[in-house]
C-alpha cells in the first residue's frame, strides 16, 4: 500500500488499473477526461495490460464495451453528462444482456444552457436503465468503489452493469491523500472474471437475442430480481474488502448522528461532508440534526433508509437534480420508500448545485431551518418563490 496525492479521476484510474480490465473503450469528455487519460498512459507504459480502444463517440464506447464483455472479458468505460445521455441506448443493451460492465460517470449538468460543471441530472435521468448506481463522496471511496464495483457487478447472483458516479470537478478534479493498494491485495480481493455469458466457438449460442411478448416480461423480472440480490452481495463485497484492505464501508447508506436525530438531511455525493459539519454545529446549538448519505440509488435502500430516519420529526432531501414538473428524482424515490415503510414524518425537497452552483454552509443551515419549521414540497436553493 502506498499513499499518493490524487484527484478523484486519478484515484478511480488507479482502482481500475488494480482491477485488471482487459478492454477499455472510452471517448473523452470534461470532467471525465483525466480518468481515461491516466488509463491510456498506464496501457502505454505497460503497467496495465489492456486493449485501449479509442472510439469516435460515447455510443460506440459503450457498444465496444458490450462487445468485449460478450467476448467474456472484464471491461471498463467512462463518461459524463451529454456523453452518458448519448450512451443511453447502449445502457439498456448492457443491463438487459446482463453484461457486468463498470462505468465511471463524472456527474455533470445537461444542456441547455450549455455547462460543464457538476450536477446529478445526467445519471439520475438514467436511473431506470437497469444499472447499479453508486455515488462516491471522496477520492478514496472512488478508488475503492472501482474495485468493489467489479466484485458486485460480476457476482453470479448479480450479473448487472455498474455505474460509479463522482461529482464533476468537486470530486473528479480535487486532490487528496489516497491509499493505493498493492496489486497482490487487489488480486486477493477481486477474482478473475469467469462467465458463461459470452461467445463460444465450440458451443455456439444465441447472444443478446430478442424475446417476444410471451417471455420478455420474464427477463425483465429477472433483471429486477438480480438487482435486489445485489443488496446482500454489496454487503459481502464490503466485508471482504474490509478483510483485505482494512477499510469497512457502511453499505447502501452512510448515516451520521441519526440515532436520536429530530431533523435529518438525506443527500448524496460530496455535499454530505459539509452537511455533517452543519449537523455538528446545529447540535452544538441544541438542534438534534443528522445526515444520511445515499451511497447507492440502485438498488434503492428503502428499508435501510426508513430504519435510519425513524427518530426524525422532519426530513429534507438535498439533491443536484430536478425532474421538471414533479420534484427531484432522489426525493421521489425517498418519499416512495419511506411511505412504503411506514415513515410519516414530512419530507421536503431542496434542489441545489445545478450547473455547478455552490451549495454553501449557510444554504445547508437554511435547509435544516426550513425543514424544522415546515416549507413547501419543492424548494430551489437561492430562489425564494412559492411553487404552484
Partner 1 sequence: MKPYIREQKQFGLDTIPEDTCFEAGYLVTVNAGWRSIRPVVAADKCIGCGQCYLYCPDGVISLQDGKAVIDYDFCKGCGICEKICRPGAIGMEAERK
Chain residues binding partner 1 by CB under 8 A are: 96-98, 159, 196-198, 203-212, 214-215, 218-219, 221-222, 226
Please identify, using beta-carbon distances, which residue of 83 and 96 lies nearer to partner 1: 96
Cα separation, 319 vs 292, whole angstroms = 12
Q: How many other C-beta atoms lie within 10 A of the C-beta of residue 148? A: 27
Closest approach, Cβ 72 to partner 1, in A, equals 11
Closest approach, Cβ 228 to partner 1, in A, equals 14
Q: How many other C-beta atoms lie within 10 A of the C-beta of residue 324? A: 5
Closest approach, Cβ 218 to partner 1, in A, equals 5
Closest approach, Cβ 352 to partner 1, in A, equals 40
β strands within 253-370, DSSP E: 253-256, 263-267, 289-294, 296-298, 314-319, 347-351
Please identify, using beta-carbon distances, which residue of 226 and 316 lies nearer to partner 1: 226
Cα separation, 127 vs 298, whole angstroms = 7
Please identify, using beta-carbon distances, which residue of 70 and 186 lies nearer to partner 1: 70
Closest approach, Cβ 160 to partner 1, in A, equals 10
Please identify, using beta-carbon distances, which residue of 183 and 215 lies nearer to partner 1: 215
Closest approach, Cβ 198 to partner 1, in A, equals 7
Please identify, using beta-carbon distances, which residue of 8 and 100 lies nearer to partner 1: 100
Please identify, using beta-carbon distances, which residue of 195 and 311 lies nearer to partner 1: 195
Residues with Cβ within 8 Å of residue 23, at least 6 apart in sequence: 50, 51, 53, 64, 65, 68, 73, 74, 75, 76
Residues with Cβ within 8 Å of residue 80, at least 6 apart in sequence: 29, 30, 31, 32, 105, 106, 107, 108, 122, 168
* Under 8 Å between Cβ of 356 and 118: yes
Closest approach, Cβ 159 to partner 1, in A, equals 6
Give, in degrees to the nearest 5, the angle at Cα 167 between 162 and 75. 30
Please identify, using beta-carbon distances, which residue of 98 and 276 lies nearer to partner 1: 98
Q: Which three cell numbers stand for residue 300?
A: 434503492
Q: Which three cell numbers stand for residue 379?
A: 424548494
Amino acid at each position: 500500500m502506498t499513499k499518493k496525492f490524487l484527484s478523484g479521476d486519478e484515484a478511480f484510474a488507479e482502482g481500475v488499473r488494480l482491477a485488471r480490465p482487459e478492454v477499455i473503450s472510452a471517448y473523452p469528455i470534461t470532467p471525465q477526461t483525466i480518468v481515461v487519460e491516466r488509463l491510456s498512459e498506464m496501457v502505454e507504459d505497460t503497467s496495465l495490460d489492456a486493449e485501449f480502444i479509442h472510439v469516435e463517440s460515447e455510443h460506440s464506447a459503450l457498444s465496444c464495451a458490450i462487445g468485449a464483455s460478450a467476448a467474456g472479458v472484464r471491461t471498463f468505460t467512462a463518461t459524463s453528462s451529454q456523453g452518458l445521455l448519448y450512451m443511453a441506448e447502449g445502457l439498456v443493451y448492457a443491463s438487459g444482456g446482463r453484461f457486468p460492465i463498470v462505468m465511471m460517470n463524472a456527474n455533470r449538468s445537461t444542456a441547455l444552457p450549455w455547462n460543464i460543471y457538476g450536477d446529478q441530472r445526467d445519471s439520475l435521468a438514467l436511473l431506470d436503465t437497469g444499472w447499479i448506481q453508486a455515488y462516491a463522496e471522496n477520492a478514496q471511496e472512488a478508488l475503492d468503489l472501482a474495485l468493489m464495483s467489479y466484485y458486485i457487478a460480476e457476482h453470479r447472483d448479480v450479473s448487472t452493469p455498474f455505474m460509479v458516479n463522482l461529482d464533476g470537478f468537486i470530486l473528479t478534479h480535487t486532490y487528496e491523500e489516497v491509499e493505493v493498494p498493492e496489486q497482490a491485495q487487489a488480486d486477493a480481493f477481486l477474482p478473475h472474471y469467469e462467465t458463461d455469458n459470452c461467445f463460444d466457438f465450440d458451443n455456439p449460442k444465441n447472444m443478446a437475442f430478442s424475446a417476444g411478448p410471451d417471455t420478455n416480461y420474464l427477463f425483465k423480472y429477472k433483471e429486477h430480481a438480480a438487482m435486489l440480490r445485489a443488496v446482500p452481495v454489496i454487503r459481502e463485497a464490503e466485508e471482504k474488502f474490509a478483510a483485505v484492505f482494512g477499510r469497512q464501508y457502511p453499505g447502501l447508506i452512510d448515516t451520521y448522528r441519526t440515532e436520536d436525530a429530530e431533523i435529518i438531511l438525506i443527500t448524496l455525493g460530496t455535499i454530505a461532508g459539509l452537511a455533517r459539519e452543519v449537523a455538528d454545529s446545529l447540535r452544538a446549538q441544541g438542534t438534534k440534526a443528522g445526515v444520511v448519505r445515499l451511497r447507492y440509488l440502485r438498488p434503492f435502500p428503502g428499508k435501510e433508509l426508513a430504519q435510519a430516519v425513524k427518530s426524525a420529526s422532519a426530513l429534507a432531501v438535498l439533491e443536484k437534480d430536478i425532474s421538471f414538473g414533479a420534484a427531484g428524482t432522489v426525493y421521489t424515490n425517498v418519499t416512495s420508500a419511506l411511505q412504503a415503510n411506514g415513515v410519516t414524518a414530512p419530507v421536503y425537497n431542496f434542489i441545489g448545485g445545478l450547473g455547478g452552483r455552490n451549495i454553501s454552509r449557510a444554504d445547508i443551515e437554511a435547509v435544516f431551518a426550513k425543514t424544522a419549521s415546515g416549507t413547501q414540497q419543492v424548494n430551489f436553493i437561492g430562489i425564494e418563490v412559492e411553487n404552484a
